[in-house]
Chain A
Amino acid sequence: MGGNNKIVAFCCENSACAAADRAGKIRLYYPDNVRVIRVPCAGRVDVLHILKAFEKGADGVLVMGCQEEACRHLTGNTRARERVKYAEILLKESGIDGERVRMVNLAPEMAHKFAQEVSEMTERLKGLGPTPIKNGGPQR
Chain B
Amino acid sequence: MQVKIGIFLCDCGGSLRNIDFPKIRGNLEKLEGVAFVDISHNLCLEEGGKALASRILSEDINRVVIAACSPELCEHNFMRLLESLRLNPNFLSIANIREQCSWAHKEDVTGKALELLRMAINKARLLQPLERKEVPVNQEVLVVGGGFSGMESTLELSQLGLRATLVEKGSALGGKLSELEGFYGLGASPKEMLGSMTRAIEEGKNIEVLTSAEVTRVEGEVGNFTVRIRRGGEEFPRSFGAIIFATGYRAGILPRDFELRPSVNIISQRNLIEILQAPEKLERKPETIGFILDVSDESSRLATLLVLNNALAVKEKWGSEAYVFCRNLKVDSDGAEKLYREARATGIAFLKFEKKPQISEEDGRVKVEAKDVLLGEEISLSCDILVVEEKGLPPEGTEALSSILNIGLDSQGFYQNENVYLYPVDSGRKGIFLVGACRGDLDISRASMDVASAVMGVCELLASGKAIVEAEKVRVDPDKCRACLTCIRVCPHGAIRLVRVNTEKEVAQIYDLACEGCGICAAICPAKAIDFEGYTDEQILAEVEAIGE
Contact = CB atoms under 8 A, between A and B. Distances in A.
A–B direct touch, CB within 8 Å, in complex?
Answer: yes
Contacts, number: 136
B492 A76 contact: yes
Interface in A16-52: 17-18, 20-25, 27-30, 32, 35-41, 43-46, 48-49, 52
A36 B96 contact: yes
Interface string B82-121: 0000000000000010111111111101001001100100
A35 B547 contact: yes
Given A28-B104, A76-B492, A40 B519 contact: yes
A74 B547 contact: no
Interface stretch (B180-188, B350-358, B418-426): B418-426
Given A1-B548, A35-B115, A76-B492, A44 B104 contact: no
A37 B548 contact: no
Given A21-B100, A25-B99, A32-B109, A48 B419 contact: no
A130 B408 CA distance: 44
A133 interface: no
Interface string A33-75: 0011111110111101100110011100000001000111111
A113 interface: no
Given A4-B548, A49-B540, A75 B520 contact: yes
Interface string B519-536: 110111000000010110
A18 B492 CA distance: 23
Interface string B24-59: 000000000000000000000000000000000000
Interface string A86-112: 000000000000000000000000000
Contact of B519 (A4, A37, A41, A83): A41
Interface residues of A, number: 48
A6 interface: yes
Given A32-B112, A40-B517, A53-B544, A24 B119 contact: no
Contact of A24 (B103, B492, B517): B103
B549 interface: yes
Contacts of A8: 544, 547
A27 B99 CA distance: 9
B63 interface: no
Given A1-B547, A71-B419, A24 B98 contact: yes
Interface in B114-154: 115-116, 119
Interface residues of B, number: 49
Contacts of A72: 419, 422, 516, 518
Contacts of A73: 492-493, 516, 518, 520
24 contacts: A1-B549, A3-B548, A8-B547, A13-B72, A20-B99, A20-B104, A21-B70, A21-B100, A24-B103, A24-B104, A32-B109, A37-B543, A39-B535, A40-B518, A43-B518, A43-B523, A44-B519, A49-B537, A49-B544, A56-B541, A73-B520, A74-B408, A74-B492, A75-B492
The 6 closest A-B pairs by CB, nearest first: A1-B548, A44-B519, A24-B99, A24-B103, A73-B518, A43-B520
Interface of B: 70-72, 96, 98-107, 109, 112, 115-116, 119, 408, 418-422, 428, 490, 492-493, 516-520, 522-524, 532, 534-535, 537, 540-541, 543-545, 547-549
Given A43-B520, A75-B520, 15 more contacts: A1-B548, A8-B544, A8-B547, A24-B99, A27-B104, A32-B101, A32-B105, A37-B544, A40-B518, A43-B518, A56-B547, A73-B520, A74-B419, A74-B428, A79-B490
